[in-house]
Amino acid sequence: MGHCGTLDPFATGFLLLVTGTECRNAMRYTKLDKTYEATIILGQTSTTGDPEGEITPYLPEDAEESITPPSRQQLDKVLQRFIGEIRQRPPIFSAIKINGQRAYKLARDGKEVELSERTITISLEVLEYQYPRLVIRTRVSSGTYIRSLAVDIGRQLGTGAYCAALRRTAIADWSVAEAQQLQNFGIVD
């Protein structure tokens, strides 16, 4: 038995499992597009881009007062920059290997971590926006980091941001709505 793509520790949702001879195809499944629902908190940042890092209020260096919440029109204009094929730098707290070591381990050990940008494809829609809370649904190509997307959106808005909640709802055409719970297989209690 194997799985096709990891989830961040704070994330929930759909995980595709393979068994027997289908384990040979695990990498093929890992490369499929994924759909997520993400809650992004604007006006704060996290050292890890998620709720597991140190959360701090965001204040631009040249700011003398608090951030003005972006209007829905400003938000939509910024989000357009993240639709289609874009370049994204993965977060240093990721499972990407650097010289045989996971980036997150190097980062936790205080070592310098530099990850290269990669080309990804994104489609997204806003499900809810009430500053500071932004909820989006996004379908992304393999290799996309929603934590990085949240941080980049906050940077472009000038508010800072982090991904507070993340749920994978689909891999390709397989949906969490049709999935079985692990408990149904006697794997976990």
Catalytic residue numbers, as ranges: 8
Backbone φ, ψ for residue 133 (5° rounding): -95, 125
In the chain, the largest separation of any two C-alpha atoms, in whole Å, equals 61
Give Cα separations from 107 to 47, 135, 186 (angstroms): 11, 28, 36
